[in-house]
Amino acid sequence: MKAFVFPGQGAQFTGMGKDLYETNEQARNLFEKANEVLGFRITDIMFEGTAEELKQTRVTQPAVFLHSVITAITMGENFQPDMVGGHSLGEFSALVAAGALDFEDGLRLVYARAQAMQKACEAQPGTMAAIIGLSNEVIEDVCEKVSQEIGSVVVPANYNCPGQLVISGNVEAINEACTRLKEAGAKRALPLPVGGAFHSPLMQPAKDELQAAIEKTTFRTPCCPIYQNVDGMAHTDADEIKQNLIAQLTASVRWTQEVENMLAAGATAFTECGPGKALQGMISKIAHGKENITIQGI
């Protein structure tokens, strides 16, 4: 069974999508439609912009979304998924590719999400850190104790793969948690160059803002099950999908559980649609030891 997966923020690079734009008329039309919907030429930033310009949340999220979705759409008959999933932002890409959301509606929601998250970051500064080489249980326990003891937020945010979990929260709580996790035996506790505490309670204002936009948007039954971040489970009901998408901003991304459930459902071929190879690396670790699994990009 074929699983198509879509990356999140952080996979961007200068020049992303330029080859598609120049060689595929359908892609070019979709990129130009995106410029029109957004009200600025995001293609100029994607194709020629600096890494710093691409790092702006209001640019990064729609840019990664566009690259991912247009890659899938222009595959034509080669895009025939039995299941889809996306990491954080990538869940929006997966929903459009699977037909649950129109291209323009998906882009508008992603842009609204990016702007809402940017505002939340400015109102309540936070950060994230990748913890390498500890069990989930130890990390969860340390986060809970730090939050209780110093009265600041630090929570597990991204369950990326075995031995890699990203935590998110207030800067002082992240620093304290990193210190304790190193003492507990973490190989690395690496602060990430992000401007906010994504997938934590600090994103509540963004969640409230995005909820209003999602509730006004029409969702349809996807062409195949979508495995969603909040619970790692397969969903096809449009109302359930909407509620899970709303919850996603303040909830943990349960990517490890999501891929494990795809494997349990019979996935044998994983294809990453979009920039970068991050998901391929994560899936390789999650599927380690399983036979006859293929993992590739486009």
CATH number, domain of 108, equals 3.40.366.10
Residue numbers of the domain that contains 243: 2-122+201-297
Question: Which residue bears the tokens 């969903």?
Answer: 235
Q: What is the mean pLDDT of each run of 10 residues along the chain (298 residues)?
A: 95 92 97 97 95 87 97 95 98 98 98 94 92 97 97 97 97 96 96 88 96 96 98 97 97 98 98 95 95 94
In a domain, 174, yes or no: yes
Task: Give the per-residue pLDDT at 194.
Answer: 80
Task: Give the per-residue pLDDT at 286.
Answer: 97
Are 113 and 151 members of one domain? no
In a domain, 196, yes or no: no
| 88 flagged as catalytic | yes
How far apart (Å, rounded) are the C-alpha atoms in residues 200 and 223?
A: 31
Of 191, 210, 245, at which residue does a domain stop?
Answer: 191
Give just the sign of the alpha carbon dihedral 117, 161, 228, 16. Answer: positive
Give just the sign of the alpha carbon dihedral 250, 61, 294, 100. Answer: positive
Task: Give the per-residue pLDDT at 83.
Answer: 98
Are 112 and 81 members of one domain? yes
How far apart (Å, rounded) are the C-alpha atoms in residues 118 and 156?
A: 20
How far apart (Å, rounded) are the C-alpha atoms in residues 10 and 94?
A: 17
Element (H, E) at 23: helix 18-23
Are 161 and 26 members of one domain? no
For 20, residues 6+ apart whose C-beta sits below 8 A from its C-beta are 27, 28, 31, 67, 70, 71, 74
Are 93 and 47 members of one domain? yes
Q: Which two tokens stand for residue 298?
A: 């486009």
Q: In Å, what is the CA distance from 28 to each residue of 25, 51, 129, 225?
A: 5, 22, 37, 29
The count of domains in the chain is 2
Are 35 and 118 members of one domain? yes
Are 102 and 215 members of one domain? yes
The number of residues in the chain equals 298
Element (H, E) at 164: strand 164-169
For 120, residues 6+ apart whose C-beta sits below 8 A from its C-beta are 196, 202, 203, 204, 205, 206
Q: What global pTM score does this model have? A: 0.95
Task: Give the per-residue pLDDT at 56.
Answer: 83
Catalytic residue among 88, 152, 200, 252: 88
Are 142 and 103 members of one domain? no
Task: Give the per-residue pLDDT at 35.
Answer: 98
Task: Give the per-residue pLDDT at 298.
Answer: 87
Are 55 and 83 members of one domain? yes
Task: Give the per-residue pLDDT at 161.
Answer: 97
Give just the sign of the alpha carbon dihedral 135, 138, 141, 146. Answer: negative
Provide the CA 181 distance to its chain's centre, in angstroms: 25
Catalytic residue among 68, 87, 168, 199: 199
